A and B are shown apart, each in its own frame.
Chain A
Amino acid sequence: MSGAGDGDGGAGGESFEARLRAARERQGRPSGVETKLHLDKLPTSALGVGLRVAVELVSALVVGVAIGWALDHFLHTSPVFLALFVLLGGAAGVLNVWRVMGPGRGP
């Protein structure tokens, strides 16, 4: 994008960037400002974080209960696997929360 003479008939000799910078200064905007949106982080509001943690905690438990119940249902071993997978699911939920909120990651 060094369009100095791209045939758009602007001020001769000046590059597009120079004209853009001049226009920005006329408008009172510093030239270094990025116009692109920067969205590389997850929301950090208290409600958002709380909801995220709650969903992480519960979802693993739901998967654990579902797997345990299904295994019991097909193997006719009720309630052995359900009891086992509730515990594993709870542990996985805590692991999920640790991954989100643990040290070095921040909220």
Chain B
Amino acid sequence: MAAGGTIDALGQFTLHPALGRIGAAVHFSQSNLFMVIAGVLVLLLLWLGMRPRALVPGRLQAAAELSYETVMSMCVETIGPEGRRFFPFIFTLFFFILLGNLLGVWPYFFTFTSHIAVTLAMAVFVVVMVTVVALRLHGLHFFSYFMPKGVPIALAPLLIPIEILSYLSRIISLSVRLFANMMAGHAMLEVFGAFVVMLGGAGLLGIVPAGVSLAVNVALIGFEILVAALQAYVFAILTCIYLHDAVHLH
């Protein structure tokens, strides 16, 4: 909010206890609340959508079927036929992030994906799971992943650390991409929103720039919806690509 003539673009990301005194006692923040809401909304979409079981689907059933088919084709086309085994994981990941991003665009709602703690936890989970999958499928042969084929053995001491660092950097790139996109977008919305209030209150001269800021904010909301869907998709498809690497090694 633009209290006291300054723009507090990052204040919107502070955590507050939700659900009154019970939430405060167990440190249940509004971030956790929106995670629960996002999960419940996905379950409701699937449960209510698939209840009619009609041959010609209605709107909600079409949405549920489309979401299933989209994620399934993403899994199979990216990972290969083995991708079906990872479908539940990718589906959960994609829709949890998508709902988190989209709920955040709604005024007064909190975007839990705008916290690095949340995205980092998800990215660590993805990379650890990918490593475990590779180890289970290939055993110790997995470590040949860090030694590219056709490279002289003399370069191994240099290349293997670089490959390992490159592998580990997936955690950072996966989490920072989502977190930075969401945080930057919401900070921009806040800044332009504060412009509208401050310029609008500055008298006759401020009316036109305030109107421009309002127009920018309207455009930014549209852009945020695009970014919300895109980043959820990017997170899921990159997880698929990493799983493809783990399943096929090279």
Contacts and interface: CB of A to CB of B under 8 A. Distances in A.
Interface in B110-168: 161-163, 165-166, 168
A36 B69 contact: yes
Interface string A58-92: 11101110010000000000000000010011011
A85 B126 CA distance: 24
Q: Which 8 A-B pairs have the closest CB atoms?
A: A59-B172, A92-B165, A60-B169, A59-B173, A92-B166, A59-B169, A63-B169, A40-B77
B177 A52 contact: yes
Interface stretch (B97-105, B195-203, B229-237): B229-237
A35 B181 CA distance: 30
A39 B69 contact: no
A3 B55 contact: yes
Contacts of B74: 39-40
Interface in B165-193: 165-166, 168-173, 176-177, 180-181
A59 B176 contact: yes
B55 to A, nearest CB: 7
Contacts of A48: 230
Given A6-B55, A52-B177, A62 B73 contact: no
B230 A64 contact: no
Given A36-B70, A37-B70, A92 B162 contact: yes
